[in-house]
Each structure stands twice: as structure tokens, then as C-alpha cells.
Structure 1
Amino acid sequence: MSSNPASTPPPPNRTSGDRDATQPQETAEREINPERDHRCESRRGGTVIIEGGTVVTVDDSGTEFGEGHVVVEGDRIVAVGPGSAPAQQGPVRRIDASGCLVTPGLINTHHHLYQWATRGYAADATLFGWLTELYPVWAGIDEEITHAAASAGLARMALSGCTTAADHHYVFPRGGGDVFGAVVAAAERIGVRLHAVRGSMDRGRSHGGLPPDSVVEDLDAALAGTQEAIDRFHDPNPGAQVRVAVGPCSPFSVSTDLMRQAAELARRNGVRLHTHLAETTDEEEQCRAEYGRTPVEYADDLGWLGPDVWLAHTIHLSEEGIARLGETGTGAAHCPTSNGRLGAGIAPVRPLLDAGAPVGLGVDGVASNEAGGLGEEMHQALLTARARYGPEALSVRDALRLATRGGARCLGRDDELGSLEHGKLADIAVWRLGGIDHTGIADPVAALVLGRLPKLERLLRGGSVVVDDGRLMPVSEAELTHELDRASARIRTREVSA
């Protein structure tokens, strides 16, 4: 994963007075008017031009334009370049990005959306203690709670610049209803892309695992449920909004048989594989005690390394483990805030990048990252990498690349997502820079990564507007907040009565 040299001079920020507003032969929309009917913006179609702002493409060459344009037709980008866009025939919607930074939409490679209903629990616990406290609480989730939590979580991510999210759902309480379908429905409601990881656990407490037996499945049920999720929801076609991956939870909650057979099932169906790995020293000690292997060696033995696999956390890796992930093209979902919240450690991001492993960013479940935004993870990733490896470990453009191209590589969609290039999906974030938070920072990428997360002026997913002028378009935040409050109260009541 390449990055621009730190010596590259940053492009200047632009102001609204720096652009020519004259464009012939077009129906133009120049300014964002918060009083107009926003519903018309959510319909995809025709031509959309974003121009006047700094455009950072995150392509292989690190191309940037101090003042540039992006042209969208339907759900695809058809042109990116400097200055104003050429005149277009027919109706055109123009988004004036003066004073803004235009980037690819961000990609979240690891999440647990159902946890939005259980924030703030076990505030001072390590991972195993945190799980021990929360598993009995999660035994109370159902379809309604999961949908409310997932809708709120995806909305928060959209408002932080995220257009694609990978959600790892592995808790299936008896009598909880269609919780996996509830997550998929939430993504359709909010309007972001979803890589829905059908998780599973078959090692409850009675078999030496951490979760209560009430939330685990037996081997056959887990495999059958995974196949059903693929059959119902996976879309292998270009431009897909929903794809499904296979994701047994972790070595300490899943049997060897389930890990191995789940990998075989995934490859029969041509879908990707995802699990937690090497998150804590406790996990490594348990793997060595049970299997005589490190977590990476154990995963390798079971067929869980390869270019169709991405792993969450990957904190406690030996030099040999890092090299093996690079050799096999296995991806890593780096979750710096969650790792810090649980005191799990700092992932070796710089060595993984140097080894050639795909590395993306993850919010992780908000029971261990209560803020829940993806944009902020760029800042956290930069700080933790520099804290461990020094000030040159990660540049601001490296951090942006992790959140875009790196995530696209982890999810197997680098041909469609993660950069602003001709033919790629029109997943685009427009960030408003300025005010007391960013004025005076000459490099807009530094402003985005090092400063307070800017206001999101627009967020497009496949050309459709998801966020406009900082407002979520498909559903009101007030409605989502009311639903989340009800869901959180319901699960607390279930916890008390359990």
C-alpha cells in the first residue's frame, strides 16, 4: 500500500471566490439550500458534477487537485480532473465544493452493529472480562432491538463519511427472530453498502467457551444458517449494495470443526472469510495451551489465511506472523479506538503495510468504541502508529488510504471502491473545511486527519445523496434516537429480569 512522500507540497484550500460559476448548456444547482425539498436529491440518475474543492483521488499515483472536479453519471464516476468540469449536455446537478475537501467515501472493515444498544457497559474491563459481562446482556437482543441499533450505528457512520460497512453479527439468541435480516434491512434503510458477515459460535460455557449456551449454535445449525444468509442476501454482481461473508467469531468461541468447515463453505460459495484474531495476549495463551500454536499458525492450519480473508485486530503478531499475512495477502481490520478502550494493545500497522498485507480501518462494536464514527479512526490510527513506531510510521495520507483503498482491498472491492477514478462507484465524501477548527491548516488532508472531524457537506453512495449539509437524508436522527432509546431500555429490562 503506497503513500505520498511526506515532502510532497500540500494543495491549497480553496474559497468560494476561486471558481468560475459560468457553465453553458446545463441546468445548474450552485449552492446547497437547506430549505429546499431534500427528497429530490436522494434519487439517483442523470449527471452530477462536484467541483471547486480540493480533490484527493487516493489512486495508485496519489493524484490530487488543489481545485478539481468529479463527474458522476448514474452510480459511476466518469471523469476526475483539475479545474471546472467541461460543459455537459442535458440536465446537470452541480455541487459547489468550494472550501471543501473531496475524498472517496470511507470504508469500515469491522463492526458489530447490534452493540449500539449496549454502550457504556464494562467501562474499565479487559476483553475477556468485558465479554463475560456483556454476553448475558446480548442474549436479550431480538430483531427489533437489532434493527434499531444497526440503523443508529449505520447513521452515525454515514455522518462520519462512511459509505461501506462490514458488520460481523455472531449472536443468535433463541427466540430472537431474524436478527441478521434486521441488520441488512437497516443498511437498506440508511442507504450505505453492507458487507454482512454471518458469524457463528458453537463453544458455549459448557464446552469451555465464554458465551452462555443460550447464544451459541451447534455445528450443523451454524453452517446451515450461514448458507441461508448467503442464499438470501449475497449479491455477487458489480455495484452490489449487500454482500455476505462467512465469519465464525473467534478461536475461543468456535470449535476447530466449525472454523474449518466454515472456510470450506465460504469457498464453495465464492464469498469472503472474516474472524477475530490475535486481539489479546489471553487469546494467544489459550491458543498455545489448546492447540500448541499461535493464533496465526492456528488460522493457517485451518485454511484461514489468503487473499479472500480479512482478520479483525491482529494486534499480537510475531515477525513471522506479520510476514505470513503479507505473503498470503490476508487483510487486517485495524480498530485503534476499540483496542485502546479495552487495553488490548496497538496493532503493528506499519510492519503489516511494509509486508504487503491489506490494512483497513474498523470502528468495532460500540460497546467498546462508544463514539462509533469511522472518520475519527483515521486520527486514532495515526496517533497509535506513531506512538509505537515513531513520527514517520504513518502519514496523514497513509491514514486516509487505510480508510479508503485499504478497506476496499480487505473487502475484495478495490476494483470498485476506495478511490475517485473513472469507472469506480460514485461513493464520495465532501468535507467542509474552515471555521475555527481548520482555518490556517494549509494541507486539507492534514486538516481532515489531524484536526477535529470536519462537517460532512455531502455523502454520495452510488450517486445517491445519503448526507446533505450535515443532515442524514433517508431518515431523521430524531426518529433513530427514539428507536435506539427504546431498544436500549428494553435490553436493560431483559438484563434485570434474566
Structure 2
Amino acid sequence: MLVIEGAYVATLDPARREFVGHVVVEGNRIVAVGPGSAPALEGARVVDGSGCLVTPGFVNTHQHLYQWVTRGLAVDDTLFGWLTTLYPVWARIDEESVYVAAQGALAQLALTGCTTVSDHHYVFPRGGGDLLAAEITAAAEVGLRFHPARGSMDRGQKDGGLPPDSVVEDRDEILAATSAAIDRWHDPAPDSMLRIAVAPCSPFSVTGELMRESAVLARRKGVRLHTHLAETTDETAWCQETHGCTPLEYAASLGWTGPDVWFAHGIHFDDTEIKQLGATRTGVAHCPSSNARLGAGIARTADLRAAGVPVGLGVDGAASNEAGSLVEELRHALLLARASNGPQSLTVRDTLEMATLGGAHLLGRSEDLGSLEPGKLADLALWNLNTFPHAGIPDPIAALVLSTPPPLALLLVNGNPVVQDNTLTTVDPELLATQVGAKQQALTQELS
């Protein structure tokens, strides 16, 4: 049993209670949360949370872990130019490079408050090995709750798409592999550490037939659906030219709206489309840093939330967000929303909610994750605000969101410590750094 005492607790419970108090964990569940001191519990490990903030663990709703070994390339390009540059590099990834990349990206996510990760892996070069298994192994070793989305591409350059033909797959092959991944890996249990989603990549790299059949497969298997949508104006123009409609109209015509669907980015939706998303409870993974890095635009988070659209946060791929830091996404989401829509458009607590409850909702885990309540899973972050950058900020939530990212005193996932005293307990980051550097050098040298 573990007791956190004397911390400022942001519960994110239905009443959104906040207080100086305690959190008690037994096994992999929270058993008590309240103001003041916890009752004496014989044999419990007590953590002094004085001057700290405890929050639910953050939920990363969109990532491309394999990109951790291809950071720092095409740094001044738009999305399509960036993809054109990087696809030949990604065509060389294999089981070993994906394993190393996933460990690196997941370690960074853990150090920035993330306890649950949804990864969208859609590049499967022939002869590359079992890439999905590689990242699943990496997640288990780092110790994070993992929701890999089995991605796919079946529209290569010869068919008018962006990806090289060497990284696209046959539609029947994709559907068979996706179905097999669900059967092998997906765990629907309430305390599951591993769930699978179905995730064709994007309208310009996937055929309509694959989108439609993937939706049918996912619903037959009882898993969720994910894809990129409405990320750039180039994508909108391409959909209008190719299909005579907007990206959302195209996706909806293929069965891609509903409470089991969440889109990455969702920047370029008009008022009518935002209402449609809210009415169907279709979710959006907001990735502010990547969107800004690529100059794609700013998602209308305030309007989406006001319309009832579930919104979570994502760091996106490390090749378009080299920091890979989930805690930074809270600040960037807040600042970009206010820069475009004024100071009242998003509050510090709105951004915390998107990072926790919002993300849990997108992944279908809101019954067990996203808030600090008795009975919920023990995924939580204890942030140390006893530091120079945070001293004198009276509101701990504001200190977390608006100041520099604070160090982690403790990160629990399923009741297990993954970070203690801002140090990973599960993997060696120095060794990882060496391995990541070697993998990136090998991948990029082969192009020269």
C-alpha cells in the first residue's frame, strides 16, 4: 500500500475537487482520496507530497513512436514536403530500430507525466520483421499502458499517393494482419495494459475501400478507429479535387464518425463539421506542437469542446515534435488557443482535463482512467513544485501548465513506480541515447 500525503490533489472527479490532502493506492487501484491526512495504515509506504501537485497520469492520444530515431530532419518543411523527405528513411526501419525508437519515445513520455500511450504505426516495410510486436515489447519494458493502433497504407506513388510503393501493403494483407493483431494482443479487461485500435493512415495514403472495410472490421471486433484527418489545407484541397468533398465528408461517407472514432489533428473543420462531430461524439486528438512545427494551423479546441466533441492531447511523431514531451502540450495548447481566440478561450484547467479525462475518453478508458477517484486505476503523476521556476506561483495547476515543466517526484502506472525522483526506474536513458543515435545514423547514412 502507498500513501501520498500533503500534496495538492487535482482529482478531476465529477465535482472537479481540488484540495491539499492524500491519495491511497493498494495494488493497481486507488482506494482513497480526500483532504487532510489519510488514516494510519500499518505497513504502508508514505510519500511526502508537501509542495507537490498530484494529477491523474496524462494520456497521449496520438504518437508515432518509430519516428524517435528520425528526429531533426526536414525541419523547415510543410507536411507534404516533410513526408516526401522522410518516407525513404522510414522505408528502412526494421524490428530493431522500431524497438529502440519506441523505448526512447516512451521513456521521454514517462518523464513528462504520461502513463497511457496510443501509438499510430502505419509503416511496414517488407522484410522489416514484426514491428508491432517490437513496440509492444518496448512499452511493456518501459512500463506504460499501451494502445497501439495498427496502421496501414495501400495507396502508394503509383496510385497517386505520397508513400513509396515499398511501404504500402495490399488491402487484403492489411485486413488480415490487423485482424490477427487484435486476436493476438487486444485485452478488453478493465485494468488492461494493452489494447489495439484500427488505424488506416490518412485519406491521401489509403483507399476508400480500405477505410470502409477497416471500419467494418473494427466494429466487428469491438475495437476503436483512428486516422489522421483535416490536418492541412493541402489535404482539404486534395480531397476536394479527388473526391469532391471535404476530408470529414469523405470520412463520414465511409463510416468514420461515431463515439468509437477519434481523428488526429482536426484543424480544418468548419462550423457545420464541428457540430457534426459533436452530435456524433467523434473525438479529436489535438497535437499543438506538431501542428505549429509544420505550420499546419491551430485546431479550434474551444469550439470543439463547446460543441461536445471529445478532445484529448497528443505529442504526434517525434520527427515533427522533437521534444516528445506530453506536459509541454498542455502549455502549447493553451497558448495557441489564446493566441488565436483570446484569453478566455481555454483555461489552465481545461488543458489539464484534455490531457487526462479527455484522453481517457478518446481511448474508451474513462471508467478506469483520467481522474483520481476510489476504484480507478492507480495511474498518477506527482509533480515537484518545490523548485525555483515554480516558487511563488500560488495556483499549482497554473504552475504546471504555464511555467517550465516541473520534475516528477513519482509516476505510477498500474500502481507501479515508473519514475521516481525524476529518474526512470525501468530502463537506462543513457544506454537508450547511445542506441538511438546509432540507429538514426544508420538509417540516414544509407540514403547518402
Aligned to 2:35: 82
Partner-residue secondary structure (3-state), 2:315: coil
1:252 Cα shift? 0.2
What CA distance in whole angstroms lies between the structure 2 residues aligned with 1:393 and 1:61?
21
Aligned to 2:3: 49
What CA distance in whole angstroms lies between the structure 2 residues aligned with 1:341 and 1:157?
19
Aligned to 2:257: 305
Match of 2:178 among 226, 232, 236: 226
What CA distance in whole angstroms lies between the structure 2 residues aligned with 1:257 and 1:236?
27
Aligned to 1:64: 18
1:434 Cα shift? 2.6
Partner-residue secondary structure (3-state), 1:243: coil
Alignment of 1:348-367 (within 5 A): 348-367=300-319
* Match status 1:264 vs 2:216: yes
User: Which protein has the larger Cα radius of gyration, Structure 1 or Structure 2?
Assistant: 1
Alignment-mate amino acid for residue 393 of structure 1: S
Q: Which moved more, 1:397-406 or 1:484-493?
A: 484-493
Aligned to 2:442: 490
Alignment-mate amino acid for residue 279 of structure 2: E
Deviation string, structure 1 residues 202-258 (Cα, Å, up to 9, x no partner): 000000000000000011011111111111111111111010000000000000000
What CA distance in whole angstroms lies between the structure 2 residues aligned with 1:252 and 1:61?
43
What CA distance in whole angstroms lies between the structure 1 residues aligned with 2:410 and 2:45?
13
Partner-residue secondary structure (3-state), 2:197: strand
Match of 2:97 among 138, 145, 161: 145
Aligned to 1:117: 69
Aligned to 1:100: 52
Q: List 4+ stretches of structure 1 deviating above 3 A.
A: none
Match of 1:439 among 384, 388, 391: 391
Partner-residue secondary structure (3-state), 2:262: strand
What CA distance in whole angstroms lies between the structure 1 residues aligned with 2:45 and 2:446?
49
Aligned to 1:408: 360
1:483 Cα shift? 1.5
What CA distance in whole angstroms lies between the structure 2 residues aligned with 1:412 and 1:96?
33
Contact kept? 1:335, 1:361, Cα under 8 Å: yes
What CA distance in whole angstroms lies between the structure 1 residues aligned with 2:112 and 2:299?
23
Alignment-mate amino acid for residue 221 of structure 1: E
Alignment-mate amino acid for residue 33 of structure 2: V
* Match status 1:335 vs 2:303: no
1:480 Cα shift? 1.2
Q: State the TM-score, normalized to the length of structure 1.
A: 0.89
Match of 2:273 among 298, 321, 328: 321
Alignment of 1:335-484 (within 5 A): 335-484=287-436
Contact kept? 1:104, 1:419, Cα under 8 Å: yes
Contact kept? 1:140, 1:495, Cα under 8 Å: no
Alignment-mate amino acid for residue 155 of structure 1: A
Deviation string, structure 1 residues 327-370 (Cα, Å, up to 9, x no partner): 00111000000000000000010000000010000000010000
1:277 Cα shift? 0.2
What CA distance in whole angstroms lies between the structure 1 residues aligned with 2:284 and 2:169?
27
What CA distance in whole angstroms lies between the structure 2 residues aligned with 1:373 and 1:360?
15
What CA distance in whole angstroms lies between the structure 1 residues aligned with 2:298 and 2:386?
32
1:289 Cα shift? 1.1
What CA distance in whole angstroms lies between the structure 1 residues aligned with 2:387 and 2:136?
38
Task: Give identity over the alignment, percent.
Answer: 60
1:493 Cα shift? 2.5
Contact kept? 1:108, 1:164, Cα under 8 Å: yes
What CA distance in whole angstroms lies between the structure 1 residues aligned with 2:15 and 2:333?
22
Over the aligned positions, Cα root-mean-square deviation in angstroms equals 0.7
1:93 Cα shift? 0.9
1:479 Cα shift? 1.6
What CA distance in whole angstroms lies between the structure 2 residues aligned with 1:494 and 1:183?
23
What CA distance in whole angstroms lies between the structure 2 residues aligned with 1:343 and 1:492?
24
1:495 Cα shift? 2.3
What CA distance in whole angstroms lies between the structure 2 residues aligned with 1:279 and 1:475?
34
What CA distance in whole angstroms lies between the structure 1 residues aligned with 2:166 and 2:14?
48
* Match status 1:159 vs 2:111: yes
What CA distance in whole angstroms lies between the structure 1 residues aligned with 2:130 and 2:52?
41
Deviation string, structure 1 residues 24-73 (Cα, Å, up to 9, x no partner): xxxxxxxxxxxxxxxxxxxxxxx1111111000011211001x2100111
Partner-residue secondary structure (3-state), 2:195: strand
Alignment-mate amino acid for residue 26 of structure 2: E
1:435 Cα shift? 2.4
Partner-residue secondary structure (3-state), 2:259: coil
What CA distance in whole angstroms lies between the structure 1 residues aligned with 2:439 and 2:176?
29
What CA distance in whole angstroms lies between the structure 2 residues aligned with 1:345 and 1:493?
32
Alignment of 1:162-201 (within 5 A): 162-201=114-153
What CA distance in whole angstroms lies between the structure 1 residues aligned with 2:366 and 2:317?
24
Alignment-mate amino acid for residue 294 of structure 2: L
1:494 Cα shift? 2.5
What CA distance in whole angstroms lies between the structure 1 residues aligned with 2:399 and 2:53?
9
What CA distance in whole angstroms lies between the structure 2 residues aligned with 1:124 and 1:482?
26
Aligned to 2:234: 282
Q: Structure 2 stretches of 5 or more lacking a match?
A: none
Partner-residue secondary structure (3-state), 1:275: strand
Partner-residue secondary structure (3-state), 1:58: coil
What CA distance in whole angstroms lies between the structure 1 residues aligned with 2:217 and 2:415?
34
What CA distance in whole angstroms lies between the structure 2 residues aligned with 1:236 and 1:441?
42
What CA distance in whole angstroms lies between the structure 1 residues aligned with 2:351 and 2:6?
24
Partner-residue secondary structure (3-state), 2:256: coil
What CA distance in whole angstroms lies between the structure 1 residues aligned with 2:439 and 2:183?
29
Q: State the TM-score, normalized to the length of structure 2.
A: 0.99
Contact kept? 1:278, 1:295, Cα under 8 Å: yes
Partner-residue secondary structure (3-state), 1:102: strand
What CA distance in whole angstroms lies between the structure 2 residues aligned with 1:295 and 1:59?
35
Contact kept? 1:55, 1:69, Cα under 8 Å: yes
What CA distance in whole angstroms lies between the structure 2 residues aligned with 1:231 and 1:153?
26
